[in-house]
Amino acid sequence: MKDTFRSADWDTYKMEYSKPHKRLESLDAERAVVQQALDAIQRAGVVPHTAYDEARFLAHRRAVEERFEIPWTAITHRMQRLLYAVNAIAQPANLIAAGVFCGNTFISNAGAAVGPGACYTARRCIGIEIKPDEAARAERNVRAIDPTGVARVVAGDAVDVVAAFDGPIHLLYLDADGDKERGKGIYLDILEQAYDKMPPGAIVLAHNSANAAERLKHYLAFVRDDAHCHASVNVIFDVEGLEVSAK
Ligand SMILES: C[S@@+](CC[C@H](N)C(=O)[O-])C[C@H]1O[C@@H](n2cnc3c(N)ncnc32)[C@H](O)[C@@H]1O
């Protein structure tokens, strides 16, 4: 099933990118709108249920606030909660996040498997960042939360790292902004390298499905084609958006 979930306030719920921890609404309001998004994702068949442990999620949020160095981020509290919840529900053994900048997006996914928000045991959680300095900062940030090394950041081009990955990919998170020519269009290049490694039911999450929809049109056409993904929901509850798809 293909669907769009759009909250009534998607274009007025706006964060300041330099203030990632500033609360924009009550926890009750945040929980409710994310629940509506999860319900839409479940209806489409991406996840079997919508239950996650909120106390663990809030412990994760607190640890990121206390221990991460985040110069800026476009991950809203709603998006942070949705990413955590999808991972907590799907429990991917192997997670890959492409284009992780300082690591905030990566840990929003991997935080369900490592650190104080952990609710299951993963095998490998890999964040990929092409800029070596940013990769080093992201790795420092992740180490401050995950002493185990299950989650780690590698410096490299996500297209190459995914192509070389030697195992199944159960969840792929896409956020790389590519080069001048491709921009976020690089999502499709990365997914094409991952696709054959993704077992049926594997999930792919694409940030900026709303504000980069034009640049992502080939990617969005791919995941909304039944031949490639049996379910895909465009979640628009902030100006960025997230396309949530299942193979
Ligand atoms: C815009 S940032 C993502 C930020 C994220 N949305 C947030 O709010 O925190 C995109 C990152 O992708 C990285 N990137 C671009 N092309 C890449 C590639 N081919 N492989 C890995 N990382 C890449 C960039 O260096 C940049 O740090």
pLDDT of residue 181: 83
Residues with a CB atom less than 6 Å from ligand 1: 73-75, 98-99, 101, 104-105, 128-131, 134, 157-159, 175-178, 186, 207
pTM of the model: 0.98
Testing ligand 1's pocket by substitution, the residue of 177, 186, 188, 240 carrying the most ligand atoms inside 8 A of its CB is 177
* Superfamily of 2-246 according to CATH: Vaccinia Virus protein VP39 (3.40.50.150)
In the chain, pLDDT over 70 holds for what percent of residues? Answer: 100
Domain-wise residue ranges, the chain? 2-246
- CA-CA distance, 178 to 123, in Å (whole number)? 28
Rounded mean pLDDT, 68-85: 98
**CA separation (Å) from 61 to 73, 181, 184, 214, 230?**
14, 35, 27, 32, 32
pLDDT at 180 over 90: no
